[in-house]
Structure 1
Amino acid sequence: MNPIDYLRDAMMIPIITFFHDYVPPHNWGLAIVLLTITVKLILYPLTARQFSNMRVMQKLQPMLKELQEKYKGDPQQLQLKMMELYKDHNTTPFGGCLPILIQIPVLFALYASLTAPAMIETLHQAPPYEKSFLFIRDLLANGVVEKFLEGPWMSPASVTVYHWDNLVLIALFTLTSYLSQRIMTTNPDDPMQRQMLIMAPLMGPMIGWVLPSGVLLYIVVSSIFTIGQYAVLLKQFPMDAAPAAATPATAGGSGKPVKTLEAQPKAPEKAKAAATPVPTTQTRDGTPKAGNNGEMPQLSREARRRANRRHKR
């Protein structure tokens, strides 16, 4: 038995069946939604860490651009300096991939569950109110794009043959996937991330071509939940409070501040001249003589006493 089949039989089908049997109104679509929320809540600590790492990466973008300009002709040195910068700020460009990687086996296990003969037979025998959810009439429906492109659109049977409800679900899947990908983008100017944003709307119909509606429902709910989590994390990790923005990080816990690439401002040259004291001179009768700027210099108490005695004489 391969790992996906093991996850399907040992975890996925029992969990979905539990939500269906014990949560009214005993609906398979609601069971998939509850499964999605459970997975997202379990992964929330990793999602918060991913968001914090994303904030640090956003703060490092000016430094990374400066390194790219400085070591434009030396890729090896550029890679070395970038890794040193990541290490100094205790971050990595791949730090936000863990929540996504963990959800991939869950997604495959759900697909295997909805395409398993036992689950197909169960859903086919279920009453309509159990195997439909909201506007989705059949959680097992797939290939709807292929059917939509091959047959007459406006035939009387198009509502049931082409599953217009699933076409709406595919549109929601494409939109929510794009929005979740957009808010997870750390650097919109990066060519790879910009290409991923462009490809996201194009991949929606292609993925919806083969996936059952139940899997699309899982992805839509997961994307909406991700957007909501990021809205909460935006308040917990504002841009100005990102770790890289507050104080310089310490490298390797040694307590030494990390060197930044920003030049330190030089002290103005006039400060030295301004700190030079004005010499004090006196006239013949002991009274103070004004300086070059016409102002009387400050005298000590003893000097003022002697000046007053000479003035009385």
Structure 2
Amino acid sequence: MFAFIPQMLGQFLKLIYDTLAFHNYGFAIIIFTIFVRLFLLPLNIKQYKSMSKIQELQPQVQEIQKRYKNDKEKLNQELTKLYSDNKANPAAGCLPLLIQLPIIFSLFYAVSRPLTYMLGKTQTQITELAQQYGVTVKNYQEIEIVKKAGGKILDMNFFGLNLGDFPIVPWGIKENAPYYLALLLLPLIAVVTTFLSTKFSMMQSRNNSSAATASMNNTMLYIGPIMTLIFSFQFPAGLSVYWIAGNVFTILQQWYMNKYIIKKKEVVGK
């Protein structure tokens, strides 16, 4: 039903690969990530302002919760009125996430099946290429075809690493161990940057946050890196590059909003 999304994003990635990235697959993923994050930036700024407003209202929220703890209907009415009067929307943070999820899952397909989603090959053409390059592996067959082609179809080399490889060390490998160890750095960097971007994003929300919010933030601080680690080993290394680029962008975005949006708001408030 939603096959057009990975097809569209895959073709967009290929366009970047052919033009802006000068046939460098790693740079194509980085530029693709920047475009996606810039597209979401207005929504993220709106979300940030809304969540900042909600943090400011926390003392009033806690007072209402204490006052109407035995009357849930009245409690909900008062909280709704408080948010409405102050033009704050607790659900505002969901929209950027809902938009990003199909993009991430679509990129999973584009990275693992580049012949279908980036190059638009039919199943018949893919089968012919598999026979041409002697590929019999069923799982991630398209990646194997691209790798066996040695850059003739799609050059996935990025600073000496093939982003079509999986970041694992095959059992019994000795002569290529340094290469696979270097490949392992990508998911590790993705995990570290996920942790840092999440932590940096939560710094602003520490003040006036409720105990429940603080507990949820602490949970998310570790769930994100764990999920990144798991998925990074399930897909080709190109996905780790996407995560790293996205996390770095998030850190810079958060720095910008902390420095210019919040500071500007404080100055206006004075």
How high is the TM-score relative to the length of structure 1?
0.66
Q: Distance in 2 between matches of 1:219 and 1:26?
A: 20
Instruction: Give the counterpart of 1:8 among 6, 12, 22.
Output: 6
The answer on whether the counterparts of 2:167 and 2:186 sit within 8 Å (CA) in structure 1 is no
Unaligned runs of 5+ in 2: 116-141
Contact kept, 8 Å, 1:12 with 1:109, in 2: the verdict is yes
Separation (CA, whole Å) in 2 of partners of 1:96 and 1:43: 12
Counterpart Cα distance in 2 of 1:6 and 1:80: 42
The structure in which a higher percent of residues are helix is: 2
Task: Tell me, yes or no, if the aligned pair for 2:9 and 2:110 is still in contact at 8 Å.
Answer: yes
Matched to 1:130, the amino acid is D
Sort the Cα spacing of 1:91 and 1:123 in 2 relative to 1 into closer, same or farther, 3 A.
Answer: farther
Q: Say which is worse superposed, 166-175 or 35-44, in terms of deviation.
A: 166-175
Q: Give me the whole-angstrom Cα distance separating, in 1, the residues matched to 2:159 and 2:63.
A: 51
Q: CA deviation at 1:126?
A: 4.3
Indicate how the Cα distance of structure 1 residues 123 and 48 shifts in structure 2: closer, same or farther if over 3 A, else same.
farther
Q: Deviations over 1:42-73 (max 9, x none)?
A: 12111211111121122112222222322333
Aligned pair partner of 2:24 in 21, 27, 44: 27
Q: Which amino acid aligns with 2:29?
A: I
- Structure 1 range deviating more: 124-133 or 230-239: 124-133
Preserved CA contact (<8 Å) 1:107 1:215? no
SS in structure 1 of the partner of residue 17 of structure 2? helix
RMSD of equivalent CA atoms: 2.9
The 5 A counterparts of 1:87-102 are 87-102=84-99
Q: 1:201 to 1:106 in 2, by over 3 A?
A: closer
Identify which of 178, 183, 189 aligns with 1:172: 189
- Taking structure 2 as the reference length, the TM-score comes to 0.75
2:16–2:28 Cα contact (<8 Å) kept: yes
Following superposition, the deviation at residue 38 of structure 1 comes to 0.8
CA distance in 1, matches of 2:61, 2:9: 43
Query: Is residue 2:93 matched to residue 1:68?
Result: no
2:181 corresponds to 1:183: no
Structure 1 contact 140–213 (Cα < 8 Å) conserved? yes
8 Å CA contact 1:56–1:242 kept in 2: the answer is: no
Identity %: 26
Taking the aligned partners of 1:143 and 1:79, their CA distance within structure 2 comes to 49
Q: How many residues align?
A: 235
Q: Over residues 78-104 of structure 1, what are the superposed CA-to-partner deviations in whole Å (9 max), with x where a residue is unaligned?
A: 333222211111111120222222121
Q: CA deviation at 1:30?
A: 0.8
Residues 108-166 of structure 1 show CA distances to partners (whole Å, capped at 9, x for unaligned) of 1111112226263345424399312246x12122362xx57xx46x9444234xx2233
Q: Is the 8 A contact 1:86 1:92 kept in 2?
A: yes
The answer as to whether partners of 2:167 and 2:183 remain within 8 angstroms in 1 is no
Matches within 5 A, 1:1-313: 2-3=1-2, 5-9=3-7, 11-116=8-113, 118=115, 120=143, 121-122=145-146, 124-127=148-151, 130-134=155-159, 137-142=161-166, 144=168, 147=169, 151=171, 155-160=174-179, 163-185=180-202, 186-187=205-206, 189=211, 190=213, 191-238=215-262, 241=265, 246=269
Q: Larger RCO: Structure 1 or Structure 2 (Cα < 8 Å, ≥ 6 residues apart)?
A: 2
CA distance in 1, matches of 2:241, 2:49: 28
Using a 3 Å threshold, how does the CA distance of structure 1 residues 55 and 78 change in structure 2: closer, same or farther?
same
Structure 2: how far apart are the matches of 1:122 and 1:203? 27
Paired with 2:54 and 2:200, the residues of 1 have a C-alpha distance of 14
User: Rg bigger for which structure?
Assistant: 1
